[in-house]
Chains A and B, each alone.
Chain A
Amino acid sequence: MKEPGAPTAADLALLDPDGSFTRRLAADRAALAALAPALDGGSVFPDDRALAAIQLLAHRLAGAAGTFGHAAVGNIALDLEESVIGLRGGGADPAAASRHLAALLAALAAALRLK
């Protein structure tokens, strides 16, 4: 059932008339999925370049997704960005970042209506 206040397909089409943001969501999802192993396995010292790439993708999604009607993607991306920033600073739990990444991949899949 549609959440109260959630945008309709027509709302989303108005915000993204040529579908470029939807294509970006798909590309970002593929990129994040490819980077996910950096957070898997509970490594205490994940590859920082991979973390930086995840942080950048999450930051951009956190800023843009909500504006294009994908509030859940934006909110979870913000959680992921904050947990990766903490992880890179040496003060956060890798498992939390991994959970946030999994949640973001699921939210992106839902936004793209993937099953």
Chain B
Amino acid sequence: MAHSGAAADLAEGAAFGEALPAAAQARILVVEDDRDVAGLVGRELRALGLTVDVIGFAEEALLAARATDYALMVIDLGLPDRDGLDLVREMRKRAIATPILMMTARSKVEDKVSGLASGADDYLVKPFAVPELRARVTALLRRPSLLKESRLTVGNVVVDRDALEAIVDGASLPLTRKQFQLLELLARRKNHMTPKRMIEEALYSFNDEVSGNAIEAHVYKLRQILRAAGAEAEVETRRGIGYRLVEQRRPAGSAA
């Protein structure tokens, strides 16, 4: 996976203001060959706290969809190498069950019906208003099959996926988006080792460039923040294997 620092920085600074679904850490595939529209959609979805891969060709999208556990795919109908309807049919034929939001300039009723009949879950007509895009994506991510526990607890650390907030003893931790994503992933896998590669895949898209020690740096900062807040949870490192979050009861008076 090649990750760009600039993209990572952009994602790191994304706004937290939107009402986020429980699947906030979800990874989304956007299949759109129009660079401007793809850029806008990617920017808006990252601002929702999502990790986004953008691909411009149907065949590449099919490969990515088979190799990656996406929570949602946003697919344009007019792709350069293949009709988007064919792509959706092919995905369903290959048992890829990920929810699909189709995006197209075609607005006739029969176009919408054929899109949905091909296997899409919802339909967004271009031109679209950005709030409608956000609302449809959020609604699809809220579907029961995608819902995960919205509050995770490890020791005295509560990770609230809906509020995008981690709390220790009633105080919100000052986390960046990446740090929050990391904490949420580790909390979801409490007491289980999480390989570094899995963390990279959860935090970064295909187009991001990640420096060799990016994950180590995020873990280091997260540890500092947890300790400073008096968290009764610790990130353990197993060299060559990965990381895990475990409860760690602290002696009275040890919090910073």
Contact = CB atoms under 8 A, between A and B. Distances in A.
Interface of A: 15-16, 20-21, 24, 59-60, 62-68, 71, 74, 78
Interface residues of B, number: 14
A15 to B, nearest CB: 7
A12 B130 CA distance: 12
26 contacts: A15-B40, A16-B40, A20-B35, A20-B36, A20-B39, A21-B36, A59-B78, A62-B126, A62-B127, A63-B78, A63-B104, A63-B105, A63-B126, A63-B127, A64-B34, A64-B36, A64-B37, A66-B126, A66-B128, A67-B127, A67-B128, A67-B129, A67-B130, A68-B40, A74-B127, A78-B105
Nearest to B77: A63
Interface of B: 34-37, 39-40, 78, 104-105, 126-130
Nearest to A75: B127
Contacts of B104: 63
B40 A63 contact: no
Query: Which has the most chain B C-beta neighbours within 10 Å: A15, A24, A63, A64?
Result: A63
B105 A68 contact: no
A60 B37 CA distance: 10
A66 B127 contact: yes
A45 B34 CA distance: 30
B40 A71 contact: no
Given A20-B35, A67-B128, A67-B129, 8 more contacts: A20-B36, A59-B78, A59-B105, A62-B105, A66-B127, A67-B40, A71-B127, A78-B105
A65 to B, nearest CB: 7
Contacts of B129: 67
B36 A24 contact: yes
B149 to A, nearest CB: 34
A60 B130 CA distance: 18
Contacts of B105: 59, 62-63, 78
Contact of B34 (A63, A74, A78): A63
A64 B126 contact: yes
Contacts of A62: 105, 126-127
A55 B229 CA distance: 60
Contacts of B34: 60, 63-64
Contact of A63 (B35, B37, B130): B37
Nearest to A71: B127
B127 A64 contact: yes
A63 B125 CA distance: 9
Given A15-B40, A20-B36, A24-B36, A65 B78 contact: no
Nearest 7 Cβ contacts at the A-B interface? A66-B127, A63-B105, A67-B127, A63-B126, A21-B36, A64-B37, A74-B127
